[in-house]
Amino acid sequence: MKKHVFLPNLYLGLILVLMYLPILMVIVYSFNVSKNSSMWEGFTFSWYKELFADKSMFEALRNSLILALLSAGSAVVIGTLAAVGMARTKLRGAGAMEYLATIPIMAPEIILGMVFLAFFSLLGIPFGMLTLVISHTAFCIPYVFLLVKARLAGLDKSYAEAARDLGASQIRAFLDITMPSILPAILSGALLAIAMSLDDVIISVFVTGVNTNTLPIKIYTQIKTGITPKTNALCTVLFGFTMLLGILSMRKSRRDL
Amino acid sequence: MKSKSGAIAAVLPMYIFTLAFVLGPLIYMLVMSFLARGASWGITTEVTPRNYLHILQPAYLKTFTQSLRLALLTTGLAILFGYPFGYFMARLSPKSRDRCMLLLIIPFWTNSLLRLYGWMIIFRANGPLDVFLMGLNITHAPLKLLYTYPAVAVGMIYALLPFMIYSVYASAEKMDWSLVEASRDLGASSFRAFLTVTLPLTMPGLYSGIILTFIPSMGLYFIADLLGGNKIVLVGNLIQEQLMRVHDWPFAAALSVILMLMTTLFLFVYRKITRAVGSADSKLEGLV
Amino acid sequence: MDNIKKSFGKSSVLNGISLDAQAGEFVTLLGASGCGKTTLLRIIAGLENPDSGNVFLDGREVTNLEPNKRDVNTVFQNYALFPHMNVENNIGYSLRLKGYPKVEIKKRVSEMLSLVQLEGFNNRTPSVLSGGQRQRVAIARAVINRPRALLLDEPLGALDLQLRRQMQIELKRIQTQLGITFIYITHDQEEALNMSDRIAVMRGGLFEQIGTASEIYDAPQTSYVAKFVGNANILRGKEFRLLSGEAYAVRGEHIELTPAEDGRDGFKAVVTDKRFAGGQLRLSAKLDVNGAEVVASRQGIDSPLKTGQRVLVSWKKEHEVLVADNEE
């Protein structure tokens, strides 16, 4: 069966190259001297200097990080508790609730943006960090919940029972036995939630206030107003972060195995 | 175990959050879609079917069909490019599989705007693509692809292809390849073996890939916005425009309700199909 | 245990069960799968609550006590060794919960390891152990606390035959050495007969018969017990001068088959099958009078009787046991 490997490998390689092509373009042009032309006019670091001098950029970055950590954090607490609780007893209406809770990742994002915008203005909640955190938490919960739930479903109940049998209280058995087994699921749920929060622009655009910019919103408005190498520089820095995160989480999951 | 109180306390935060911030807004959207808009801003309490009738205007209907067409095109092309990728990837050695996965994850984790921006650079007039094509003498003038339909399609496929790849890969990786060998042994050509064994067994992955590409492709308005300029208007753009520029919130709500219904219907059909496929799976197991 | 009842939804699993185990006794709950024995064990352990009835331990009622508050430990069917802890931490888990000093725990764990003959396995993880070794660790973990009673749920089910025989002896030795009450669940009559002081045969959520191994084997009270323990032949009907609801149980080794020409007393029959199974030769014969099938077992690998041959079936009067017929 190992005969035809050349063509498949060529195909895989080609698609992967296409995946990286736009990213590569962004990086290359971040070093271009020319501001408007797509012609290569020489190498420069000046766009990075300009980027790091821009205070609003750092503020947007800070907002994005706070937002991601707060919403992923709440999602981890809410989602994990719910998955554990639902695994423990069969509650009435649990199925319907599960469906409702996962709507935020199933429905098109634009709908979420729309309903949050309308709902928050109905309630009179001022748009800003609070509304951002609530709406990001809404679409972060399903990731944590579903991952932890799947892990719990694959978990042998008799481990926790054995701990109870050997003298552990319910809480102790949960901390000693269940927790270590679902921890990887919680962590990957949290990472996924952070990634999704950092990436979101559609929902954020609708629910953010005038003074609260997140990095994606900032990039979005910059791209809309025109292509400048400064945006490229910002994107390149961002990409570097992603690489770092991806490699770290890869390392971690390998150790877990 | 003894009492349900612990479990109830544990699920309570999610119940409350979901009811307050998922169900609540959705109900409000539904209610609002039947209300009339205020003179310049906001809503009145007048109940009217006007918003839904409004959608039936040819201009808006066209937006829906255009959206659906693009979503179908995107999904179709994602299958075309993504299925072979997932399939070939599952056949790699475990080590190369890991490496391939890492290579896939990095762009996936990369901010989607960044990747879109890359395409804007490639497509713009006299950009790298034009330089490349004109250099090879394939074209002689800039294609001016940015802000065209093909650019939007490329952006959509590019954004959603990883979902298709993961889904197909996940089910192809779980597949027992000895089944393919068995069918080859029983006289099937490799193409027949693919059609009769591999394809049915990876169907669940294909279906979930379709879900994961089709549903978002209806709502990714910012791709059409950035790569299509104002020329390509999808349902998502229409909703955004009604909300932010025209300030006709009830109409935006009605559009969202319709989009939501379409999504739900699609999910419902998907559930039905996967259940049918699931039973076919167990039947196959019985035969083997 | 007194009059335990339990049902899940509409299906009732235990229908009023009472059993009194003496201190230091080896009691086996024997029954086919689905008879409710695991549920009963889980009720004793406190992992399940009975709908009605009471569980007593040393005269103290523990029916509604949490499992961690009961002086009873369990060896689970799949052993349930914590995969993320090594052998030492698994065995020492209950002592750690009680806050024993580290030195003390280490000492007691080594004692336990030598009891189950696994000295030096302290730092291995469960995943690298063989089935038999896991079994021993599970036992050590459950007895380190010196519980009043140890509950064992088909602990030998996953082991191969040879290891099973060896572990039977081992388990009996550990039990005698520790003097703990063992409540042992199995569907294997050989295990039950080999190890138990008393056996309780369970069926459909009820005890069919409780007694010593020899009482159960030699004096079964019902046709089900006679058949389940030792595969006795059940003979019923007026041909044997039996009333309805009565039956004779006759063990295979007591059935005589002689060629029809011998002219001895007996029931006319024809040999229908000849098989060598489980170290014994089994001959099946179909009785002319009512078409019932009897199975005779013999030592040795072959017999002069052939399939299809006419024979006479007989047994000595002292080998027939009158039992209540409670089967179809």
The per-residue pLDDT for range C141-159, each reduced to its tens digit, is 999 988 888 999 988 887 8
Q: Is B2's CB within 8 Å of C49's CB?
A: yes
Strands, E assignment, chain B: 35-37, 43-47
- How far apart CA B283 and CA B276 sit, in angstroms, is 11
Could you tell me the strand order of the sheet in which C310-314 lies?
Answer: C256-259, C310-314, C267-277, C280-287, C293-298
Q: Is A167's CB within 8 Å of C74's CB?
A: no
Of B25, B85, B221, the CB nearest to A15: B85
- How far apart CA A77 and CA A140 sit, in angstroms, is 11
| Contact indicator for B210, B171 with CB cutoff of 8 Å | no
The per-residue pLDDT for range A131-186, each reduced to its tens digit, is 999 999 999 999 899 889 888 888 888 888 899 888 888 888 888 888 988 898 89
User: Smallest Cα–Cα separation from C205: which of C23, C12, C9, C2?
Assistant: C12
The per-residue pLDDT for range A16-28, each reduced to its tens digit, is 999 999 998 888 8
pLDDT-wise least confident of A93-102, A222-231, B57-66, B73-82: A222-231
How many CA atoms, within 13 angstroms, populate the side-chain half-sphere of residue C46?
29
At residue A152, the pLDDT reads 87
| Contact indicator for B111, B121 with CB cutoff of 8 Å | no
At residue A254, the pLDDT reads 55
Which of A28, A34, A78, A115 to mutate to test binding with chain B, by most B CBs within 10 Å of its CB? A115
Comparison of pLDDT for C314 and A216, the residue scoring more: A216
What residues does each domain of chain A span? 56-256
Q: Is B219's CB within 8 Å of A202's CB?
A: yes
B106 vs A contacts (CB less than 8 Å): 242-243, 246
- How far apart CA B113 and CA A202 sit, in angstroms, is 11
Q: The whole model's pTM is what?
A: 0.76
pLDDT-wise least confident of A222-226, B19-23, C167-171: A222-226
Shortest Cα–Cα distance, B149 to chain A (Å): 18
At residue B277, the pLDDT reads 56
DSSP secondary structure of A174-236 = IIIIIHHHHHHHHHHHHHHHHHHHHH--HHHHHH--SS---HHHHHHHHHHH---HHHHHHHH
- How far apart CA C257 and CA C314 sit, in angstroms, is 7
At residue C328, the pLDDT reads 56
Comparison of pLDDT for A38 and B206, the residue scoring more: B206
Element (H, E) at C112: helix C102-115
Of B14, B111, B256, the CB nearest to A101: B14
Which amino acid type is present at position A223? I
- Backbone torsions φ then ψ of A103, nearest 5 degrees: -55, -45
At residue C234, the pLDDT reads 84
Show Cβ contacts of residue C90 under 8 Å, excluding neighbours closer than 6 positions: C81, C82, C126, C137, C141
- Backbone torsions φ then ψ of C147, nearest 5 degrees: -70, 160
Tokens 């007989």, residue located: C314
| Contact indicator for B115, A22 with CB cutoff of 8 Å | yes
Residue C160 in tokens: 């191969």
At residue C56, the pLDDT reads 84
The per-residue pLDDT for range C252-297, each reduced to its tens digit, is 888 888 887 776 777 888 888 888 876 778 888 888 877 788 888 8
User: Smallest Cα–Cα separation from A189: which of A152, A153, A155, A148?
Assistant: A148
Confidence band of C6 (pLDDT split at 50, 70, 90): low
- How far apart CA C171 and CA C137 sit, in angstroms, is 12
DSSP secondary structure of A57-71 = HHHHHHHHHHHHHHH
Mean pLDDT on A55-59: 86
The per-residue pLDDT for range B225-270, each reduced to its tens digit, is 888 887 788 888 888 888 888 888 899 999 999 989 988 888 888 7
Residue C279's region, left for phi above 0, alpha for psi from -120 to 50, else beta, is left
| Contact indicator for C283, C271 with CB cutoff of 8 Å | yes
At residue B59, the pLDDT reads 86
| Contact indicator for C148, C71 with CB cutoff of 8 Å | yes
User: Smallest Cα–Cα separation from B227: which of B144, B160, B115, B147?
Assistant: B147
- Backbone torsions φ then ψ of A66, nearest 5 degrees: -60, -45
Show Cβ contacts of residue A37 under 8 Å, excluding neighbours closer than 6 positions: B126
- How far apart CA C28 and CA A207 sit, in angstroms, is 67
* pLDDT of C223 over the 50 cut: yes
Q: Is C82's CB within 8 Å of A177's CB?
A: yes
Tokens 């089709």, residue located: B214
B244 close to C (CB below 8 A)? no
Which amino acid type is present at position B178? S
Q: Round the average pLDDT of chain A to a whole number and report it.
A: 85
Which amino acid type is present at position C258? T
Comparison of pLDDT for C307 and B287, the residue scoring more: C307
Domains of chain B: 58-287 (1.10.3720.10)
Q: Is B215's CB within 8 Å of A79's CB?
A: no
Shortest Cα–Cα distance, A156 to chain C (Å): 8
For chain B, list residues with pLDDT below 50.
1-2, 278-288
Domains of chain C: 2-225 (3.40.50.300), 234-324 (2.40.50.140)
Element (H, E) at C286: strand C280-287
* pLDDT of C315 over the 90 cut: no
For A56-256, which CATH superfamily applies? MetI-like (1.10.3720.10)
| Contact indicator for C74, C41 with CB cutoff of 8 Å | yes
Show Cβ contacts of residue A96 under 8 Å, excluding neighbours closer than 6 positions: none
